[in-house]
Amino acid sequence: MVCFALMAPPAALWLSARPRLPATSPLKAARALPIAAVVSTGGLPDLAYESARGEEGCGAAVIARLVGFSQPGRADVYADTSPAELGVGRDREVVINGEEEGISPPRNGAAYVAKMAANGADIRHVVLNDTGHVELIAPGTAAWTRTVEAIEQLVR
């Protein structure tokens, strides 16, 4: 079975990367759901990058609650929570950001795509003009139409 994921980012990117979790991670599953393609709309694909932004966007405190805290046996909290740290897999990805996005501005998507491309990934980055965060997932908007087009291209 091959699945396609469109859900709250960074969950979709993380789920597609889940088979690459370290064997020691408590999040590792014996049979991770195989996901062949992901469309990330306004997502946070690199949680370390996002945390370094401080209180801009979601905020470092929110990211800390999401990833947890360092502890013995889990010094790098991003190793099993951040899609950017889980590396490149066989999944196909499209990262979509709104030009006026405040939570996850286009530079976040661009940084993730560049990091993954340096490791051999082929990820498309789409920046939509006159678009903020909510429009990306709001049916009836031009941004939603572009998201649907990205999905249709991936499932062909």
Low-confidence winner among 18-22, 66-70, 124-128 (lowest mean pLDDT): 66-70
What pTM was computed for the model? 0.83
Whether 82 has a pLDDT exceeding 80, the answer reads yes
Burial class of 132 by CB neighbour count within 10 A (0 to 12, 13 to 18, 19+): middle
3-state secondary structure of 115: helix
* Domains of the chain, residue spans: 3-21+31-44+87-155
What backbone phi and psi angles, to 5 degrees, belong to 47? -70, -30
Give the span between the Cα atoms of 65 and 45, in whole angstroms. 16
Which CATH topology does 3-21+31-44+87-155 take? Rossmann fold (3.40.50)
| Region class of 149: left (phi > 0), else alpha (psi between -120 and 50), else beta | alpha
